Amino acid sequence: MIFPKKNTGFTLIELLVVIAIMLILMTIVLTSLNKNKDLATDQARVADLQTIRLALEEYRVACFEYPNKIYNNASNGRCPEGITFSSFLPQVPTDNGTDYQYVGLSNIAVGKCYDYYISAQMIFGAEDDDTTNPLLQEDEFSDSSDWPYSEKCDGTNSNVTFAPLDDEDGIYNVRSSQGTN
């Protein structure tokens, strides 16, 4: 007697193929989400730097120079009494609790700050040679050898030298509007 074959389920191979396809799709989606998260973090850093830049320009208008530092209620001592950098930006943004790199620049050590440099390390595209961070195309920076100001205003580590200012280093650079003239 021949028994009829019952097709009541999936074979093991069919199940393994479906699971493999699902794993491949999940990997693609999770990789894409991680890149978007990194880009969003970088966009927040750029927004922080632009906020600091606006406060620096307001400080310059009130005090006729830039501060030598921006953290810890900074003032050059040349502003009208009671005016510090925190008068223009009460809470200076940080990068997950770490201060952004800020340098007030002058033509002499411990001199008046005529220029500044501020930067943030980007995540997206910094490690991958095949991925370019679109934000790095926006930073307006020239070679530091062209700067007229090469001394730090606070007198520490005179003769400022910076890493190469290209978009391949993953650093978003901002300079004062005075320094780009």
Q: What band does 177 get if pLDDT is binned at 50, 70 and 90?
A: low
Confidence (pLDDT) at 80: 82
Read off the pLDDT of residues 122-131 as tens digits, 9 standing for 90 and up: 876 655 544 5
Q: What band does 34 get if pLDDT is binned at 50, 70 and 90?
A: confident
Specify which residues 119 forms β-bridges with: 101, 173
Confidence (pLDDT) at 114: 84
Q: Which of 14-18, 75-79, 94-98, 109-113 has the highest mean pLDDT?
A: 14-18
Average pLDDT for 53-60: 90
Please check whether residue 66 is in contact with residue 52, taking contact to mean a CB–CB distance below 8 angstroms: no
Average pLDDT for 35-52: 87
Please check whether residue 171 is in contact with residue 162, taking contact to mean a CB–CB distance below 8 angstroms: no
Positive or negative torsion for Cα 61, 65, 71, 75:
negative
Q: What angle do CA 84, 53, 104 make, to 5 degrees?
A: 65
3-state helix, strand, coil in the chain (%, to 5): 35, 10, 50
Tell me the pTM.
0.71
For residue 65, the 8-state DSSP code is S
Tell me, what amino acid is at 57?
E
Q: How many CB atoms lie within 10 A of CB 172?
A: 22
Please check whether residue 148 is in contact with residue 112, taking contact to mean a CB–CB distance below 8 angstroms: no
Average pLDDT for 119-145: 63
Residue 115 backbone dihedrals phi, psi, to 5 degrees = -150, 165
| Alpha-helical runs (H) found in 99-152 | none
Query: Picking from 5-9, 62-66, 131-135, which range would have the lowest pLDDT averaged per residue?
Result: 131-135
Q: Strand pairing of 115-121 and 151-152? A: unpaired
